[in-house]
Amino acid sequence: MPPRAQPFSNLLSKTSRIDTKLRSSMDQASASVTHRRRLLDFFVAPPAGGRLAARIAHLKSRWWLALVVLVACGIYLFVVSAGGVRNWPVYGTYLDLQADAFRAGHLYLGLKPAPELLRAANPHDRSLIRYWALDLSYFQGKYYCYWGPIPPLFQAVGKALLGITRGIGDAYIGLFSACLIGLGGGLLIERLGRRLFPAVPRVMLIFCILAFACANPLLHDVATAGTYISAILAGQAFLVLGVVFAFDAVWHAGTDSARRYQLWLAGLCWGLALASRITVLPTIAFLIGVTALAVGWTSERRWFHTFINSLWLGLPVAFFGVGLLVYNQLRFGDPLQFGLYLQLSGYPPMRFERRYWLPNLYTYALRPWASSCQFPYLYQVWWNKLSAPFPEGFPIPGEYNTDEPVVGWLRTSPLTWCIGLAFWLLPRPFTLKLRHGRVYLWCLAAFAAMASLTGMTAIGVYATTMRYLTDVMPGLILLGILGAFALRTHRFGLLAPKLTTTVIALLATVTIVMGCIFGYQGYNGHFHKYNPALDASLVNAFSVCGDKKPELPRFWP
């Protein structure tokens, strides 16, 4: 090269490098702005570019999702109000009392203990049961709720904003939480279809979203959303919403701008879930680990970024966890005392033993219903007098309690029959280096954790109840939907796409109908008790007994 050309060549090289760095910085800044806008428009998830026309077009393309979620919430409203009665049924007031206590500036309930209880040397002696406020925690002359503080805190804020000073019961917490579950499930299923399984038709998405929203026992819970059930629904609502944000973070793994906000929002939701129902802790711990690893998997410094991601997820959860411990210390003088063992319960003290696992697993998965010619045809059974709870020869511990009605999820939610397909039909070629494979595996792990870890506490208890199914049902349904989508987009499903779609829609329809049947009944004849005129009309119109008298009583006890 000529001597005089050397400086000019160096100048061109330096200019090229500066231009490259400048373009890179501009691209990063543009990506950062785009991801922040994407976060602000989370619920409509606009495409990259941010143009107004594109945003409007994208929003219009999601009108069906908003409509489906509104339909689900309308079903919840119809059920909780027993068909639209003016005075809603009240199945519990403890959370509402706790909300009023928060507004009054203290942690104990305004309910006054009986004088006999205040004078007793041992107020937990069962001989004093007639003086108890059953299922509240009693400590040093005051009543407390042992359920998490977040649901009543939300109710306290709502009542303050609306200027409500009277008692309103706990059904509103249940309704609000159920709507959040329906919203979170709809957003998550729509994302699964749009991103992982674009070949899945919209009609199939609609059926699956409604099946998620109506699968038993969700409508059963909404119908009788008292204190116990509303706390469970709140925990699941924030858990599912957190999974939606975590899904977005895993899908956008490798982009630093947006994922921090998505991880933080996921952790915030999971912290709210923890402070609603403490038994979700194992599930949240697993979700934090698997999400942090999935987001950091493609990074050059994989384990360092996994650690950082776990901090973004874990710090909000830790904040609520510490707050919960402080809450316990202020109430009971012990940060690890959640109030369960101070509970004034009509049942024996809680024991968690392995010998209850087998009967509980059978009950929650396969416990049968009782059938009748009278509407609504299938009934949950109290005391199992007319329907054997277990097959002959099934090993049952002597003190095992079968009183409360439960119907197994495999019988009421046939969409979950596709769960095995989710594990079998992995994407091909399957590799964690590809985004689809990594996100699919994360979904499989996250949904499986929701379907198992959240219910571990209930599996070890000496009795079963329908509401405990809610701890695992969202995860089970999501696993079934994942398997159904995998089948529809697999070569087996593509050979007969209309047949595959029809079969999956049929399974979803049966799941919806079953959920409505048991939601109509609620815990014990919800519509029958609170809207007898509508119930009588439906029984007369749809029963198929003819002149035969039904052998099965409609409701117990």
Ordered by start, the domain boundaries in the chain are: 167-542
Residues present in the chain in total: 557
Region 528-550: what's the mean pLDDT? 89
Distance CA 364, CA 366 (A): 6
pLDDT over 60 (residue 297): yes
Distance CA 37, CA 245 (A): 15
pLDDT of residue 370: 86
DSSP, collapsed to helix, strand or coil, labels residue 465 as: coil
Which of 195, 149, 99 is closest to 443 using CA atoms? 195
Q: Return the half-sphere exposure (C-beta side, CA atoms, 13 A cut-off) of residue 227.
A: 17
Burial (Cβ within 10 Å: 0-12, 13-18, ≥19) of residue 141: exposed
Burial (Cβ within 10 Å: 0-12, 13-18, ≥19) of residue 163: exposed
Q: 470-482 pLDDT, tens per residue?
A: 999 999 999 999 9
Region 384-409: what's the mean pLDDT? 80
The H-assigned helical ranges of 105-226 are 115-119, 150-162, 171-191, 202-214, 218-223
8 A C-beta contact, residue 71 and residue 212: no
Region 354-383: what's the mean pLDDT? 89
Q: Which two three-digit tokens encode residue 495?
A: 């050979």
Between strands 378-379 and 370-371, the pairing is antiparallel
pLDDT over 70 (residue 132): yes
pLDDT of residue 351: 77
Region 291-317: what's the mean pLDDT? 91
Question: What's the chain's average pLDDT?
Answer: 87
What type of residue is 302?
R
8 A C-beta contact, residue 277 and residue 148: yes
Q: Decide which of 407 and 35 is more confident.
A: 407
pLDDT over 80 (residue 557): no
pLDDT over 90 (residue 431): no
Highest average pLDDT, of 27-31, 39-43, 410-414, 487-491, comes from: 410-414
Using only C-alpha atoms, the chain has a radius of gyration, in whole angstroms, of 27
Q: Which residues pair with 379 in a beta bridge?
A: 370
Share of the chain above pLDDT 90, in %: 66
8 A C-beta contact, residue 243 and residue 287: yes
| CA dihedral (37, 39, 43, 44) positive or negative | positive
pLDDT of residue 51: 60
Q: Which two three-digit tokens encode residue 487?
A: 């089948």
CA max distance for the chain: 112
pLDDT of residue 259: 82
H/E stretch holding 144:
strand 142-144
Distance CA 420, CA 448 (A): 11
Which of 280, 69, 58 is closest to 189 using CA atoms? 69
pLDDT over 90 (residue 162): yes
pLDDT over 60 (residue 258): yes
pLDDT of residue 190: 96
Chain CA centroid to CA 480, Å: 15
pLDDT of residue 45: 47
Distance CA 137, CA 225 (A): 20
pLDDT over 50 (residue 109): yes
Distance CA 456, CA 282 (A): 9
pLDDT classification of 192: cutoffs 50, 70, 90: very high
DSSP, collapsed to helix, strand or coil, labels residue 235 as: helix
DSSP, collapsed to helix, strand or coil, labels residue 370 as: strand
pLDDT over 60 (residue 380): yes
Report the C-alpha dihedral over residues 361, 229, 482, 37, rounded to 10 degrees. -150
pLDDT of residue 428: 74
Could you tell me the end-to-end alpha-carbon distance of the chain, in angstroms, rounded to an integer?
100
Distance CA 148, CA 181 (A): 18
Ranges of beta strands (E only) in 228-383 are 370-371, 378-379
